[in-house]
Amino acid sequence: MALSQTQKGIILAGGSGTRLHPVTMGVNKHLLSVYDKPLIYYPLSVLMMTGIQDILLITTPLDVEPFQRLLGDGHRWGISIRYVVQTAPRGLADAFIVGREFIGHDKVALILGDNLFFGDSFTQAAKNTSAHQTGAFLFGYPVNDPQHYGVVELDSHHRALAIEEKPSHPKSNYAVPGLYFYDHQIVDIAASLEPSPRGELEITDAHRIYLERGELHVHVLEKDVTWLDAGTPETLLEATQYVRTTQNSRGAKIACLEEIALNCGFITHDRFAQLAQESANDYGDYLLHVLESLETT
Protein backbone atom coordinates (compact mmCIF):
# COMPACT_ATOMS: atom_id res chain seq x y z
CA MET A 1 0.00 0.00 0.00
CA ALA A 2 1.34 3.44 -0.93
CA LEU A 3 2.17 5.80 1.90
CA SER A 4 1.42 9.50 2.18
CA GLN A 5 3.92 11.75 3.91
CA THR A 6 1.44 14.53 4.72
CA GLN A 7 -0.73 14.15 7.78
CA LYS A 8 -2.49 16.75 9.88
CA GLY A 9 -3.99 16.47 13.32
CA ILE A 10 -7.12 17.87 14.96
CA ILE A 11 -7.76 18.05 18.70
CA LEU A 12 -11.41 18.48 19.63
CA ALA A 13 -11.40 20.49 22.86
CA GLY A 14 -14.78 22.18 22.92
CA GLY A 15 -18.00 21.10 24.59
CA SER A 16 -19.49 22.25 27.87
CA GLY A 17 -18.00 19.62 30.17
CA THR A 18 -21.35 18.85 31.78
CA ARG A 19 -20.07 15.64 33.37
CA LEU A 20 -17.59 17.73 35.38
CA HIS A 21 -19.92 20.52 36.52
CA PRO A 22 -19.59 22.72 38.54
CA VAL A 23 -15.81 22.71 37.94
CA THR A 24 -16.23 23.37 34.23
CA MET A 25 -18.48 26.36 34.79
CA GLY A 26 -15.28 28.35 35.25
CA VAL A 27 -12.67 26.53 33.17
CA ASN A 28 -12.50 24.32 30.08
CA LYS A 29 -12.02 20.71 31.23
CA HIS A 30 -9.07 20.24 28.86
CA LEU A 31 -7.17 22.84 30.91
CA LEU A 32 -7.65 20.93 34.16
CA SER A 33 -4.65 19.24 35.73
CA VAL A 34 -3.86 15.58 35.25
CA TYR A 35 -1.17 15.27 37.91
CA ASP A 36 1.65 17.60 36.75
CA LYS A 37 0.39 18.68 33.32
CA PRO A 38 -2.79 20.08 31.76
CA LEU A 39 -5.11 17.45 30.31
CA ILE A 40 -4.64 18.87 26.80
CA TYR A 41 -0.93 17.92 26.89
CA TYR A 42 -1.82 14.23 26.70
CA PRO A 43 -3.73 14.17 23.38
CA LEU A 44 -1.27 16.70 21.97
CA SER A 45 1.59 14.37 22.91
CA VAL A 46 -0.11 11.49 21.05
CA LEU A 47 -0.23 13.48 17.81
CA MET A 48 3.38 14.56 18.22
CA MET A 49 4.61 11.01 18.91
CA THR A 50 2.81 9.92 15.76
CA GLY A 51 4.94 12.43 13.85
CA ILE A 52 2.26 15.07 13.28
CA GLN A 53 3.46 18.68 13.43
CA ASP A 54 0.55 20.57 11.83
CA ILE A 55 -2.29 20.71 14.36
CA LEU A 56 -5.69 22.39 14.60
CA LEU A 57 -7.32 22.84 18.00
CA ILE A 58 -11.11 23.24 17.93
CA THR A 59 -12.68 24.84 20.98
CA THR A 60 -15.39 27.26 22.12
CA PRO A 61 -15.35 31.04 21.60
CA LEU A 62 -14.63 31.60 25.32
CA ASP A 63 -11.73 29.17 25.47
CA VAL A 64 -9.54 30.18 22.53
CA GLU A 65 -7.61 32.76 24.54
CA PRO A 66 -6.74 30.44 27.49
CA PHE A 67 -5.51 27.76 25.06
CA GLN A 68 -3.44 30.33 23.19
CA ARG A 69 -1.84 31.47 26.46
CA LEU A 70 -0.96 27.88 27.31
CA LEU A 71 0.13 26.51 23.95
CA GLY A 72 0.81 29.53 21.75
CA ASP A 73 1.40 28.70 18.11
CA GLY A 74 3.35 25.56 19.01
CA HIS A 75 6.79 26.82 17.90
CA ARG A 76 8.09 26.07 21.41
CA TRP A 77 7.93 22.37 20.49
CA GLY A 78 8.71 22.72 16.79
CA ILE A 79 5.09 22.30 15.71
CA SER A 80 2.31 24.49 14.35
CA ILE A 81 -0.92 24.93 16.32
CA ARG A 82 -3.85 26.78 14.84
CA TYR A 83 -7.20 27.48 16.45
CA VAL A 84 -10.76 27.51 15.21
CA VAL A 85 -14.06 28.06 17.04
CA GLN A 86 -16.95 25.64 17.16
CA THR A 87 -19.90 27.79 18.19
CA ALA A 88 -22.02 24.85 19.39
CA PRO A 89 -21.38 21.14 20.08
CA ARG A 90 -22.65 19.68 16.79
CA GLY A 91 -21.02 16.26 17.05
CA LEU A 92 -17.55 14.86 16.45
CA ALA A 93 -17.94 14.71 12.66
CA ASP A 94 -18.46 18.47 12.63
CA ALA A 95 -14.71 18.79 13.27
CA PHE A 96 -14.12 17.98 9.59
CA ILE A 97 -16.55 20.65 8.46
CA VAL A 98 -15.09 23.28 10.78
CA GLY A 99 -11.56 22.15 9.81
CA ARG A 100 -12.18 21.63 6.09
CA GLU A 101 -9.83 24.40 4.94
CA PHE A 102 -7.14 23.21 7.35
CA ILE A 103 -7.32 19.61 6.10
CA GLY A 104 -7.34 20.37 2.40
CA HIS A 105 -6.47 17.18 0.49
CA ASP A 106 -4.27 15.72 3.22
CA LYS A 107 -4.78 12.82 5.59
CA VAL A 108 -5.94 13.78 9.05
CA ALA A 109 -6.02 12.36 12.57
CA LEU A 110 -8.68 13.35 15.07
CA ILE A 111 -8.19 12.93 18.80
CA LEU A 112 -10.60 13.89 21.54
CA GLY A 113 -9.10 16.31 24.02
CA ASP A 114 -10.13 14.29 27.07
CA ASN A 115 -8.78 10.92 25.87
CA LEU A 116 -5.52 9.57 27.27
CA PHE A 117 -3.53 6.62 25.95
CA PHE A 118 -0.69 4.86 27.75
CA GLY A 119 1.34 1.76 26.91
CA ASP A 120 4.63 0.73 25.37
CA SER A 121 3.01 -0.73 22.26
CA PHE A 122 0.63 2.16 21.68
CA THR A 123 2.96 4.67 20.01
CA GLN A 124 4.13 2.18 17.39
CA ALA A 125 0.55 1.07 16.75
CA ALA A 126 -0.47 4.70 16.18
CA LYS A 127 2.47 5.28 13.83
CA ASN A 128 1.65 2.16 11.83
CA THR A 129 -2.01 3.09 11.63
CA SER A 130 -1.33 6.66 10.53
CA ALA A 131 0.96 5.52 7.71
CA HIS A 132 -1.80 4.00 5.57
CA GLN A 133 -3.10 5.98 2.63
CA THR A 134 -6.68 4.89 2.00
CA GLY A 135 -9.67 4.61 4.30
CA ALA A 136 -10.42 5.13 7.97
CA PHE A 137 -8.34 3.52 10.72
CA LEU A 138 -9.73 3.04 14.20
CA PHE A 139 -8.69 1.24 17.34
CA GLY A 140 -10.60 -1.43 19.22
CA TYR A 141 -10.37 -1.57 23.00
CA PRO A 142 -12.11 -4.23 25.13
CA VAL A 143 -14.34 -2.77 27.85
CA ASN A 144 -16.81 -4.12 30.39
CA ASP A 145 -19.55 -1.60 29.56
CA PRO A 146 -19.57 -1.23 25.75
CA GLN A 147 -23.11 0.20 25.74
CA HIS A 148 -21.62 3.56 26.73
CA TYR A 149 -19.36 3.81 23.66
CA GLY A 150 -19.17 3.46 19.94
CA VAL A 151 -18.83 -0.30 19.45
CA VAL A 152 -17.27 -2.20 16.56
CA GLU A 153 -18.05 -5.83 15.78
CA LEU A 154 -15.09 -7.79 14.40
CA ASP A 155 -14.63 -11.16 12.74
CA SER A 156 -11.99 -13.68 13.79
CA HIS A 157 -9.39 -11.78 11.73
CA HIS A 158 -10.27 -8.43 13.37
CA ARG A 159 -12.03 -7.17 10.24
CA ALA A 160 -14.91 -4.78 10.91
CA LEU A 161 -18.39 -6.24 10.39
CA ALA A 162 -20.57 -3.54 11.96
CA ILE A 163 -20.28 -0.38 14.02
CA GLU A 164 -22.87 1.16 16.35
CA GLU A 165 -23.11 4.16 18.66
CA LYS A 166 -23.94 3.32 22.28
CA PRO A 167 -26.05 0.23 21.43
CA SER A 168 -28.50 -1.15 23.99
CA HIS A 169 -27.41 -4.67 23.08
CA PRO A 170 -23.75 -4.49 21.97
CA LYS A 171 -22.59 -7.11 19.47
CA SER A 172 -19.08 -7.03 20.93
CA ASN A 173 -17.12 -5.57 23.83
CA TYR A 174 -14.77 -3.59 21.59
CA ALA A 175 -15.19 0.12 22.19
CA VAL A 176 -13.76 2.64 19.72
CA PRO A 177 -11.48 5.08 21.62
CA GLY A 178 -11.29 8.73 20.64
CA LEU A 179 -8.37 8.57 18.22
CA TYR A 180 -9.11 8.17 14.52
CA PHE A 181 -7.09 8.36 11.28
CA TYR A 182 -8.63 9.20 7.89
CA ASP A 183 -7.82 9.83 4.29
CA HIS A 184 -9.11 13.10 2.79
CA GLN A 185 -12.49 11.51 1.94
CA ILE A 186 -13.59 12.29 5.49
CA VAL A 187 -14.19 15.93 4.59
CA ASP A 188 -16.87 15.14 2.01
CA ILE A 189 -18.28 12.27 4.07
CA ALA A 190 -18.79 14.55 7.07
CA ALA A 191 -20.45 17.18 4.89
CA SER A 192 -22.91 14.56 3.61
CA LEU A 193 -24.12 13.45 7.04
CA GLU A 194 -27.56 14.23 8.42
CA PRO A 195 -27.93 15.09 12.12
CA SER A 196 -28.91 12.20 14.38
CA PRO A 197 -32.06 12.33 16.57
CA ARG A 198 -29.99 14.13 19.20
CA GLY A 199 -29.11 16.81 16.65
CA GLU A 200 -25.45 15.92 16.14
CA LEU A 201 -23.28 14.71 13.26
CA GLU A 202 -22.26 11.30 14.56
CA ILE A 203 -18.75 10.04 13.89
CA THR A 204 -20.15 6.51 13.85
CA ASP A 205 -22.24 7.42 10.79
CA ALA A 206 -19.05 8.49 9.00
CA HIS A 207 -17.39 5.22 9.99
CA ARG A 208 -20.38 3.29 8.67
CA ILE A 209 -19.89 4.88 5.24
CA TYR A 210 -16.25 3.80 5.23
CA LEU A 211 -17.40 0.31 6.25
CA GLU A 212 -19.86 0.16 3.34
CA ARG A 213 -16.99 1.08 1.00
CA GLY A 214 -14.81 -1.67 2.44
CA GLU A 215 -12.37 0.94 3.76
CA LEU A 216 -12.83 0.75 7.53
CA HIS A 217 -9.84 -0.79 9.28
CA VAL A 218 -9.52 -1.61 12.98
CA HIS A 219 -6.41 -2.29 15.05
CA VAL A 220 -7.12 -4.03 18.35
CA LEU A 221 -4.87 -2.53 21.01
CA GLU A 222 -2.53 -4.74 22.98
CA LYS A 223 -3.21 -5.59 26.63
CA ASP A 224 -0.43 -3.28 27.85
CA VAL A 225 -2.35 -0.23 26.56
CA THR A 226 -4.47 1.81 28.95
CA TRP A 227 -7.17 4.10 27.57
CA LEU A 228 -8.98 6.63 29.74
CA ASP A 229 -11.79 9.03 28.87
CA ALA A 230 -11.10 11.67 31.52
CA GLY A 231 -14.50 13.33 31.27
CA THR A 232 -15.84 12.48 34.72
CA PRO A 233 -14.52 13.18 38.23
CA GLU A 234 -13.76 9.48 38.67
CA THR A 235 -11.81 9.03 35.43
CA LEU A 236 -10.00 12.36 35.87
CA LEU A 237 -8.81 11.17 39.27
CA GLU A 238 -7.94 7.75 37.82
CA ALA A 239 -5.84 9.41 35.12
CA THR A 240 -4.00 11.51 37.70
CA GLN A 241 -3.26 8.48 39.85
CA TYR A 242 -2.10 6.47 36.83
CA VAL A 243 0.28 9.21 35.65
CA ARG A 244 1.71 9.73 39.15
CA THR A 245 2.25 6.02 39.76
CA THR A 246 3.71 5.32 36.32
CA GLN A 247 6.06 8.30 36.35
CA ASN A 248 7.32 7.51 39.83
CA SER A 249 7.94 3.87 38.99
CA ARG A 250 9.67 4.54 35.67
CA GLY A 251 11.48 7.74 36.50
CA ALA A 252 10.23 9.24 33.24
CA LYS A 253 7.43 11.66 32.52
CA ILE A 254 4.40 10.90 30.37
CA ALA A 255 3.40 13.53 27.80
CA CYS A 256 6.50 15.69 28.35
CA LEU A 257 6.14 17.74 25.17
CA GLU A 258 9.70 19.11 25.23
CA GLU A 259 11.22 15.63 25.47
CA ILE A 260 8.89 14.27 22.78
CA ALA A 261 9.76 17.17 20.48
CA LEU A 262 13.47 16.44 20.92
CA ASN A 263 13.06 12.70 20.37
CA CYS A 264 10.97 13.29 17.23
CA GLY A 265 13.52 15.73 15.82
CA PHE A 266 11.13 18.68 15.98
CA ILE A 267 13.59 20.76 18.01
CA THR A 268 17.38 20.78 18.33
CA HIS A 269 19.45 19.84 21.36
CA ASP A 270 20.26 23.53 21.90
CA ARG A 271 16.59 24.46 21.82
CA PHE A 272 15.81 21.74 24.34
CA ALA A 273 18.58 23.07 26.58
CA GLN A 274 16.96 26.52 26.45
CA LEU A 275 13.55 25.09 27.41
CA ALA A 276 15.08 23.11 30.25
CA GLN A 277 16.30 26.33 31.87
CA GLU A 278 12.86 27.98 31.90
CA SER A 279 10.95 26.03 34.57
CA ALA A 280 12.17 26.39 38.15
CA ASN A 281 10.18 23.46 39.52
CA ASP A 282 10.05 19.66 39.39
CA TYR A 283 9.09 19.75 35.72
CA GLY A 284 12.13 21.87 34.92
CA ASP A 285 14.32 19.63 37.07
CA TYR A 286 13.20 16.67 34.99
CA LEU A 287 14.13 18.44 31.75
CA LEU A 288 17.54 19.27 33.20
CA HIS A 289 17.98 15.61 34.16
CA VAL A 290 17.15 14.56 30.58
CA LEU A 291 19.64 17.14 29.33
CA GLU A 292 22.37 15.86 31.64
CA SER A 293 21.71 12.29 30.49
CA LEU A 294 22.09 13.35 26.87
CA GLU A 295 25.35 15.15 27.56
CA THR A 296 26.89 12.12 29.25
CA THR A 297 26.06 9.68 26.43
- Which domain, by its residues, includes 29? 7-251
- Is residue 4's pLDDT more than 70? no
When pLDDT is cut at 50, 70 and 90, the band that residue 2 belongs to is very low
When pLDDT is cut at 50, 70 and 90, the band that residue 6 belongs to is low
Residue 118: inside a domain, yes or no? yes
Residue 278: inside a domain, yes or no? no
At residue 98, φ and ψ (nearest 5 deg) are -60, -35
Label residue 10 exposed, middle or buried (CB < 10 Å: 0-12, 13-18, 19+): buried
pLDDT, tens digit, for every residue of 271-287? 999 999 888 789 989 99
pLDDT, tens digit, for every residue of 109-154? 999 999 999 988 998 898 888 777 789 999 999 999 999 999 999 9
| Identity of the amino acid at 288 | L
Query: Taking the CB of residue 56, how many other CB atoms lie within 10 A of it?
Result: 22
Residue 15: inside a domain, yes or no? yes
* Model pLDDT, residue 268: 95
Residue 79: inside a domain, yes or no? yes
pLDDT, tens digit, for every residue of 51-94? 999 999 999 999 999 999 999 999 999 999 999 999 888 999 99
Three-state SS string over the chain comes to: CCECCCEEEEEECCCCCHHHCCHHHCCCHHHCEECCEECCHHHHHHHHHCCCCEEEEEECCCCHHHHHHHHCCCHHHCCEEEEEECCCCCCHHHHHHHCHHHHCCCEEEEEECCEEEECCCHHHHHHHHHCECCCEEEEEEECCCHHHCEEEEECCCCCEEEEEECCCCCCCCEECCCEEEECCHHHHHHHHCCCCCCCCCCHHHHHHHHHHCCCEEEEECCCCCEEEECCCHHHHHHHHHHHHHHHHHHCCCCCCHHHHHHHCCCCCHHHHHHHHCCCCCHHHHHHHHHHHHHHCC
Residue 16: inside a domain, yes or no? yes
In CATH, what number is assigned to the domain containing residue 111?
Answer: 3.90.550.10
pLDDT, tens digit, for every residue of 38-49? 999 999 999 999
* Model pLDDT, residue 234: 93
Residue 37: inside a domain, yes or no? yes
Residue 19: inside a domain, yes or no? yes
Residue 272: inside a domain, yes or no? no
* Model pLDDT, residue 129: 81
Predicted structure pTM score: 0.94
Average pLDDT of the chain is 92
* Average pLDDT of span 233-251: 95
* Average pLDDT of span 229-239: 92
* Model pLDDT, residue 120: 85
* Model pLDDT, residue 35: 96
* Model pLDDT, residue 1: 33
- Is residue 203's pLDDT more than 60? yes
* Model pLDDT, residue 3: 39
| Radius of gyration (C-alpha) of the chain in whole angstroms | 19
Count how many domains the chain has.
Answer: 1
Higher pLDDT, 254 or 293: 254
* Model pLDDT, residue 171: 94
Higher pLDDT, 19 or 152: 152
Looking at the chain, the whole-number percentage of residues with pLDDT higher than 90 is 79
Report helix angle 185-192 to 203-212, nearest 10.
120
Contact 121, 224 (CB under 8 A): yes
